[in-house]
Amino acid sequence: MSAELVLFWVFAAAIVASAGGVIIARNAIASAMSLVACFFFLAGIYVLLWAHTIAALQVLVYAGAIMVLFLFVIMLLSLTESGPVAQLSPSRILGAVGTAGLLAALVGALLRLPKTLPTWVSDTAQVQRFGTIKEVGQVMYTQWLFPFEAVSLLLLVAIVGAVVVAKPRI
Amino acid sequence: MNTPSFGLDDFLPVLPAAILTAGAILLLVSEVFLGSATRTYQALLAVVTSVAAGALAFSNAFLPAHAVLQGYAVLDPFSSFTTVVVCLGTGLGALLGAGFLKHRNAERGEFYALLLFAAAGMSLLAMSAEFITLFVNLEVLSVSTYALTAYLRRGPRPSEAGFKYFILGAFAAALLLYGAALLYGATGTTHLSEMAAGLGAAAKAQPALVACGFFLVGAGFAFKVAAVPFHMWTPDVYEGAPTPVTAVMSAGVKAAAFVALVRVFLFLGPVFDPEVVFVIFSALAAATMVVGNLLAIPQRNVKRMLAYSSVAHAGYLLSGVAALFAPATVAPKSGVLSASATWGADSALRGEALKGLLFYLLAYTVTSLGSFGVVGALERREDETKGNAWDLDRFSGLAQRRPFQAAAMAVFLLSLGGIPPTVGFMAKLLVFRAAVDAGLVGLAVLGVLSSAAGVYYYLRVVVYMYMRPAVEGMQTPERQWTTEFALAASALAVVGLGLLPGSVSDWLSRAGLIFGQ
Amino acid sequence: MIATSNYLILAAVLFCMGMLGVLIRRNALVVFMCIELMLNAANLTFLAFARERGDATGHISAFFIIAVAAAEAAVGLAIVISVFRARGTVNIEEIQTMKH
């Protein structure tokens, strides 16, 4: 077994376990901590996928900033959980069955993908460059200008929206 | 390293959105420096901004269709006319919002700023030609609408509506995104035009992967346009949101989502499997028309009734979308398709269908804004926490108390029901004619029948307004000139476009000139 | 280098787990976290296909999705706070009041 395969299974098992923790934990804080763990292990998977830049961002932005926001809100509201964790009405059971069906369809489709190694991997120079900040940044700032500006608009809108909604009274 | 080069031409299509954004920022700044007691000037500023943006978009609509901004956006009459419709809706929405908020001492620059941000998002969404760009612009529009829905903090309803809208909107966005990721995997690109070029080969090599991607993207869009069976959130969100916001949601948000849906599926549908796309859109259209109308019939709550009616209208629009993918030739004898039948309407039919869709969006924008505007004008502040603010009884004897509002409401309801001489009739005529020309006779008949059922619940409100005596002690909120002006303008547009659709419908014929077709 | 389909199936499992959580959980905050799981599954899919093809598009898509998730989180959490202020709970069943 290659090192990649071992690491993949370690991270994959940890991701599935921590995602399961998010879904079944009774306490919202436990869910949030499981989610942080899940994001960390995902960052590990991203490194295996040679996406170093995104792995760093995953830890900084997702696990660092977004999850702190979540935890902050949970603490602020000091939630106490009562009653069952999940609600099982007929429509929700139908939804769960639909989810299982979707999973089966997806796995069926993905198993049929070719297992051969991509040809571009033989180009060592390209492999060296792939996923680095330099390459991602170059492509982003020379080609993806319009979506980049749209994201800046989105962040402005989100700031204004959050301030408006969180005001105690309008 | 190649640096990108832009010409002035590249920025022309995004200029309306830039004007809207600039107006929004100006409004935010005005809140800091000019926090005076009356803020009507803010509504007027929002109106001026949307008129300016709309006028610019209108002049763009007569330019030839071409890709701009390195292929991430397109400038075509289809997207430009959508921006015009969106700006019209935003301007009217701001006027309606002014009266509504003034009555509640809740006028703030942020409200109008968020309206303009949402309009900018809609305009950008209509021109996006790449999946990630489309997704980001969809989020610009969604995030501002989430905030607007939860804008008022009077009673539990707005926050409940905001929360539901947020959860389902984010869920739909995740479905759309995952579908886009699968399609990226199949084709190696997120640009719609390149994806269309590579999809044929990909669909042969990996049919299941491409089908999953299509299904998820379609489900995401179906949530956004509130098609049955993804419509469950609509009545609660529409009821709970502040009424002017509901009006903008039902008009502008829906228009932008429909246009994005049409663009994505016009690029990708014919390459993937037009037959499947056609069958799915026809089924969605039929289910949405029938279920929307059936659910609206028992409603005594007028705001909720209009919410279900907006679901039904999404169904009529979807039948226009289905017409885009109809089989071009049908085997004459057996009625089933011959093996040689080519799927996908020819360009003349497609032009008619696109024109019908845009005319319908325009008609629904003025009509829906007007009808929600009257509902909002009759809402009393004291009733907000109770559930009966929009009961049919509130409309009893409105003709005596407020003859102008009653007359305007009657015009809007007739238009929603599709009765001549209103614009609603012309719009239904165009969409259903496109459907019939494309061979979708059954769908068109179903549409006519279900809109006939719709006439029942629309006319019931008219009966209450004109034939029932007013309930004792029922007070109507004082009149606001901004609201009256918006209602008069919408009513005028509803009747005017219904009687003389000529020039507008000629302009909209250019909408058939959609990029890449 | 192991086959990309391993990563893709992991992403599909993660996506469906998130979807299941959205459908069955009662706590509004946890439902929101499950949506984050779904977005991460989309990210993982983009990155896995990016390596398969040696193409930076998937990386940039993931970059934008993280930004969008941050924007959504800001507004979404503000809405959860306003729900809590109005109701004193974030339980989805108790939030529902509107009649059908």
Encode pLDDT of B66-94 as tens digits: 888 888 999 888 899 999 999 999 999 99
The pTM of the full predicted model, rounded to 2 decimals, is: 0.94
Partnered with residue B75 across adjacent β-strands are B66
Res B243: pLDDT: 92
Q: What is the structure's pLDDT at C100? A: 47
CATH topology for C4-95 is Helix Hairpins (1.10.287)
- Give the Cα separation of B114 and B245 in Å (integer): 10
Residue-level pLDDT at C33: 94
Contacts of B153 in chain A (CB under 8 A): 167-170
Q: Which of A12-16, A89-93, B292-296, B314-318 has the lowest mean pLDDT?
A: A89-93
Taking each helix axis as running N to C, give the angle between helix B15-33 and helix B77-103, from 0 to 180 degrees, rounded to the nearest 10: 20
Chain A from 4 to 33: CB within 8 A of any C CB: 4-5, 8, 12, 15-16, 19-20, 22-23, 25, 28, 31-32
Q: What is the mean pLDDT of chain A?
A: 88
Say how far apart CA B54 and CA B72 lie, in whole Å: 22
B360 and B316 Cβ atoms separated by less than 8 Å: yes
Domain boundaries, chain C: 4-95
Min CA distance, A158 vs chain C (Å)?
5
Q: What is the pLDDT of residue B206?
A: 87
- Residues in A closer than 8 angstroms to C41, CB to CB, are none
Q: Do A164 and B114 touch (CB under 8 A)?
A: yes
Task: Tell me: pLDDT of B340 over 50.
Answer: no
A contact residues 107-166, partner B, Cβ 8 Å cutoff: 108-110, 112-113, 138, 142-147, 150-151, 153-154, 156-158, 160-165
> B-chain residues within 8 Å CB-CB of A107?
none
The per-residue pLDDT for B209 is 92
Query: How far does CA C3 lie from the centroid of its chain?
Result: 25
Residue among A20, A100, A155 whose CB faces C67 most closely: A155
Q: Write out chain A residues lying below 8 Å of C19, CB-based.
A: 99, 102
Angle of helix C28-53 relative to helix B157-187, nearest 10 degrees? 10
Q: What is the pLDDT of residue A151?
A: 95
pLDDT at B337: 40
Contact state of C57 with B184 under an 8 Å Cβ cutoff: yes
More confident: C49 or A79: C49
Q: Do B152 and A157 touch (CB under 8 A)?
A: no
Q: Do C100 and B235 touch (CB under 8 A)?
A: yes
For chain B, what percent of residues have pLDDT higher than 90?
Answer: 52
* Cα gap B345→A142, rounded to integer Å: 38
Answer whether C82 sits within 8 Å of B160, measured CB to CB. Answer: no
Confidence (pLDDT) at B335: 40
Subunit contact B159:C35, Cβ cutoff 8 A = no
- Mean pLDDT, residues A14-29: 92
Kindly tell me the sign of the dihedral angle through the C-alpha atoms of B299, B302, B304, B306: positive
Least confident of B108-117, B349-358, C34-43: B349-358
Any A CB within 8 A of C87 CB: no
So what's the pLDDT on residue B396? Answer: 86
Which has the minimum average pLDDT: A57-66, B306-315, B319-328, C37-46?
A: B319-328
ipTM of this predicted structure: 0.95
Burial of A97: CB neighbours in 10 Å, binned 0-12, 13-18, 19+: exposed
Chain B closest-CA separation from residue A96 CA (Å): 15
Report the SS3 class of residue A86: strand
- B404 min Cα distance to partner chain A (Å): 31
Asked whether residue B157 carries a pLDDT value surpassing 50, the answer given is: yes
Domains recognised in chain A with CATH numbers: 1-80 (1.20.120.1200), 121-170 (no CATH)
What's the CA gap between B354 and B126, in Å, rounded? 14
